[in-house]
Amino acid sequence: MADAMKMRATMQGDTADVKVLMNHIMETGLRKDAKTGQLIPAHFINSVVAAVNGKTVLEAQWGAAVAKNPFLGFRVKGAKAGDKITINAVDNKGEKLSGETTVA
Amino acid sequence: MNYLRRTFLRGTGAAGTVAIAIAAGLLKPGQVLAAEWNKVAFDATTTADAMKGLNVAGAVESKDILIKAPDIAENGAVVPVEVTSKIPGTTSIMIFVDKNQNPLIADFEFSNGAEGFVSTRIKMASTSHVKVAVKAGGKAYTASKEVKVTIGGCGG
C-alpha cells in the first residue's frame, strides 16, 4: 500500500515525540451496507509494533474501535536525533502496513 | 489448517469463532506475530470481562493516570484520547469504553524507554465512561473519564 503511514518524530528535551497517521478503513464489522442491508465485514489493524533502531519500544493490540485512519502518538525517552523509527502494523486480513522515519 | 487452529485456540483460550480467526489471517504458517491478539479480551462485551481477559481485574483507582479527552465529543467516530501514566514503571496502558459493544479499544505495551504515554483516536457508540487501566510493576491501576457523545460512531 502506498503512503500507508505518515510519520513525524521530533525531540522534546531528552524524549522523542513520535506521531503516526495510518491510512486504514478500520471497519468495525457492525455497520450495515445501506444498499444491501448486509453487514460490512470487519477490517481493522489489530497489531502495531514500533521500534527505535530495531529495538521494540511499543507493542499495541487494537480492536475495531480505534478510529478510521488511526492516529498514534507515543514518546520514547533516551532516543536521539537521527535515530530510525519504524512502525509495522498488521490488520485482521493479514495485510501489512509499515512506515519509517528518522528523529529530527 | 487444523493443527494451526488448535494452536491458535490454545494460545488465546478462545472457543468457537474459528472462522473469524481464519479470516483474520492470523493462521498463516510462518507469519511472525509480536504477540497473539487477545481475542478473549477484545470480544468481551463488558469492561469487567475485558479487564479479566487482560489480567487487570481488581485494578486500583489512581490519580496518577491522566486522561485527556473532550467532555463533549460531537462525533463519536473520532474521539481524541490521550493517556499519561505518572506511575513509575508503567509497562502497559489499556483503553476501554464501557458502553461500546466490545469495550476494549486497545492495549499498548511499552519497553526500551517508551514512556507511559499514548495518544490516539477512538470510536464511541454513545455517551460513556472512557476507562483506562495501567500495569506498572506487576500491579494494575485504573482511572476513568466521562465523555458525552452527540452522534455515535459505531454501527449505524
Contact yes or no for A78 and B102 at CB 8 A? no
Predicted local confidence at residue A3, as pLDDT: 73
Q: For residue B63, with 0-12 CB atoms within 10 Å meaning exposed, 13-18 middle and 19 or more buried, which class applies?
A: exposed
For the record, the C-alpha cell of B100 comes out as 461500546
Measure the CA–CA gap between B51 and B49, rounded to whole angstroms.
Answer: 5
CATH of range A5-102; options 2.60.320.10, 3.40.50.410, 2.60.40.10, 1.10.606.20: 2.60.40.10
Residue of B nearest to A39 (CA): B155
ipTM of the complex: 0.92
- Are B29 and B44 in a shared domain? no
User: Chain B interface residues facing chain A, Cβ-Cβ under 8 Å?
Assistant: 23-26, 28, 31, 33-35, 37-38, 42, 77-80, 82, 97, 100-102, 104-115, 117-124, 153-156
Do B87 and B143 have their domain in common?
Answer: yes
Say whether pLDDT at B16 is over 50. no
Secondary structure (H, E, C), B94-111: EEEECCCCCCEEEEEEEC
Say yes or no: B29 and B54 in one domain: no
Say whether pLDDT at B14 is over 60. no
Of B33, B119, B155, the CB nearest to A31: B155
Residue at B92 is within a domain: yes
Amino acid at A76: V
Q: Are B32 and B52 members of one domain? A: no
CB contact under 8 A, B154 and A90: no
φ/ψ bin of A49: left (φ > 0), alpha (ψ from -120 to 50), beta (otherwise)? beta
Q: Residue B8: pLDDT band by 50, 70, 90 thresholds?
A: low
Instruction: Compute the distance between CA of residue B80 and CA of residue B72 in angstroms, rounded to an integer.
Output: 11
A39-95: pLDDT as tens digits: 999 999 999 999 999 999 999 999 999 999 999 999 999 999 999 999 999 999 999
User: Which of B15-29, B99-113, B132-146 shows the lowest per-residue confidence on average (mean pLDDT)?
Assistant: B15-29
Query: Which residue in the set A46, A64, A67 is minimally distant from B78, CB to CB?
Result: A67
Same domain flag for B2 and B67:
no
CA gap A18, A61 in Å, rounded: 18
